Amino acid sequence: MKIKHLAGLSALLPLAACSQKAPQQQPNIIFFLVDDFGWVDSSVQYGDELYPNNLRFNTPNMQRLSERSTVFGNAYACAVSTPTRTSIMTGMNAAHTRITNWTSAVRDTPSDATGGGFWMAEHSGSGDALAGDVLSRPDWNINGISPVPGVPHTQYANSLVQYLKDAGYFTIHVGKAHWASAGTPGVNAYNHGFCVNIAGTMAGMPRDYSGLKNYGNTKERWNDFAVQNLTEYYGTETHLTEALTKEALKTLDYPIKHGQPFYLYLASYATHTPIQPDERFAQKYRDAGMDEGQAAYASLVEGVDVSLGEVLDFLDEKGIADNTVIIFMTDNGGNSENIQKGGIPHTQNKPLREGKGSNYEGGIRVPLMIYYPGKTKAWKCDVPVICEDMFPTILDIAGIRGWKAVQDVDGQSILPLVIGGREGPSPERPLVFHYPHKWKPYDLEDIDFLSAVRVGEWKLVYRIIDGALAVSAGSEEERAAARERALELYNLSADIGEENNLASEYPEKTAELARVLSERLRAWDAVMPVVVATGKPAPLPDEI
């Protein structure tokens, strides 16, 4: 998995081409990726029990899928959108791609928050302002991934989808892409090996969910997040999730007729902000006593559930359900910070701590189910897995062997777990999370500038601001106090809510995980924010 600097894929992958003439052997694959959709935001039980939040959602289709699937209870993504999406495409950890934050719509524009303005206002602010005057932004790959080398501030990589296409798959992108900024090759799904692209752009959110507002394509509402390719539904009540689902099913017509395997990456914009009510479903949540934000969010969730159901029904109708793998996942944890969602901020992912943006569990532990007809062991698997595993897993499902990539792939195939074997990733495999950024113009203590590693039941959280203060604060007392605060240790088996910091109780385990995290970040040449006081990168956790 480690041959670098290859000219391109074509020489290495002369597979399929005209060989794709025998009856279809490879399974179809549908990757149903939901946005900002939390671990407890459905009736599906991913945890050891059903939590109160699970009861607030009506998701019979997710339920239906879960009953036949491998349900992962410890599946992880990154804390925000683009890093997860680019990890899926490259098989690399986000610290390794150096795409650790969401990419701006406009090229060469860091999305790191500064003190001024609100990023949703138009384009995100750029600059070097900081949280608490301690850190300024790192030099990360602000333009996202690139399928060609030499594009500034990008990670050059061979995409998962190109392998699938080269192996004979008809590859379809529908919905949110958000791998790269406009004006770069990475923003274009066709450059990553997709045969069809509907609505995938630089946008990380929809300008509007409503067909009545043309999904943002009106002069008064327009910005870069206006959703493209849905002109059929302009001026109609068709919800964005519904429109994307309809379009996705249309695109399957060709490969089904030709008996060619397809890969459908159906990435809904829901349930990202703006949290606008989907009026097909919202009223019953209002009637159930939810506030407007909660009802709106629950209605967006139900829209996604209906979309999933339509896809499952379509597969049944076409007689291809038995040869179609379904992967259902979310790009990051539920947003617990945005007041549009109603309820009490920072509680929506309970029992998990915090939400989107954070490397506490609420931001990174996500729904994941995989259904492989005839092969899935329908079970609850608690082996920790992570978004970059999707790359080798999907190639494994597609039967693509011996692939080589210009990038070093970090993920491992979790197919063995899906088919219920004993092999597959070790439960003790370290999983790394890295968010060296300030998320919003205001400080968010449990979100900004956090790294983390999970090893088995243990999790270390590194508060980079305190790490920086530990080497730069004025007095030795301040430095010592910061050093004390910088590393937190949790035992997730006993404390899924990360309420009991065991760092002082288990100093050796803390040091061990700090070493593991540091070694990974060092090996990947991960970006770190700059310590304002010294002008140098913030220390790694084993350097404080």
State the burial class of residue 523 (Cβ atoms within 10 Å of its Cβ: 0-12, 13-18, 19+): exposed
Is 236 a binding residue for a copy of itself by CB under 8 A? The answer is yes
> Given candidates 85, 98, 165, 239, which one binds a copy of itself under the rule CB under 8 A?
165
Contact 377, 420 (CB under 8 A): yes
Is 400 a binding residue for a copy of itself by CB under 8 A? The answer is no
Is 104 a binding residue for a copy of itself by CB under 8 A? The answer is no
Cα–Cα distance, 281 to 268 (Å, whole number): 17
Q: Which stretch binds a copy of itself (CB under 8 A): 111-119, 163-171, 389-397, 415-423?
A: 163-171
Is 219 a binding residue for a copy of itself by CB under 8 A? The answer is yes
> Given candidates 93, 154, 197, 307, which one binds a copy of itself under the rule CB under 8 A?
197
Is 107 a binding residue for a copy of itself by CB under 8 A? The answer is yes
Q: Which is nearer to a copy of itself, 200 or 351 (CB)?
A: 200
What φ, ψ does residue 455 adopt, rounded to 5°? -135, 110
Is 5 a binding residue for a copy of itself by CB under 8 A? The answer is no
Contact 160, 122 (CB under 8 A): no
Contact 440, 358 (CB under 8 A): no
Is 222 a binding residue for a copy of itself by CB under 8 A? The answer is yes
- The SS3 assignment for 365 reads strand
**Minimum distance between the CB of residue 40 and a copy of itself, rounded to whole angstroms?**
35
Is 410 a binding residue for a copy of itself by CB under 8 A? The answer is no
Site for a copy of itself in 18-77 (CB under 8 A): 18, 20-21
> Given candidates 140, 233, 263, 360, which one binds a copy of itself under the rule CB under 8 A?
233
Is 522 a binding residue for a copy of itself by CB under 8 A? The answer is no
**Minimum distance between the CB of residue 122 and a copy of itself, rounded to whole angstroms?**
8
* Beta pairing class for 431-435 and 450-455: antiparallel
Contact 167, 28 (CB under 8 A): no
Q: How far apart are the first and last CA of the chain?
A: 33
**Minimum distance between the CB of residue 187 and a copy of itself, rounded to whole angstroms?**
5
Q: Which stretch binds a copy of itself (CB under 8 A): 252-260, 315-323, 338-346, 532-540?
A: 252-260
Kindly state the tokens that stand for 29: 């694959």
> Given candidates 254, 346, 404, 479, which one binds a copy of itself under the rule CB under 8 A?
254
**Whole-angstrom Cα Rg for the chain:** 22
Is 16 a binding residue for a copy of itself by CB under 8 A? The answer is yes
- DSSP-derived letter for residue 106 is B
Q: Which is nearer to a copy of itself, 226 or 527 (CB)?
A: 226
Cα–Cα distance, 447 to 425 (Å, whole number): 28
**Minimum distance between the CB of residue 151 and a copy of itself, rounded to whole angstroms?**
11
- CB < 8 Å & 24+ apart, contacts of 336-340: 336/38, 336/362, 337/439, 337/440, 337/444, 337/447, 338/273, 338/275, 339/293, 340/273, 340/274, 340/275, 340/293, 340/296
Q: Which residues are near a copy of itself by CB under 8 A?
A: 16-18, 20-21, 106-107, 122, 165-166, 168, 170, 182-185, 187-188, 190-191, 195-197, 201-202, 214, 217, 219, 222-224, 228-229, 231-236, 247, 250-251, 253-254, 257-260
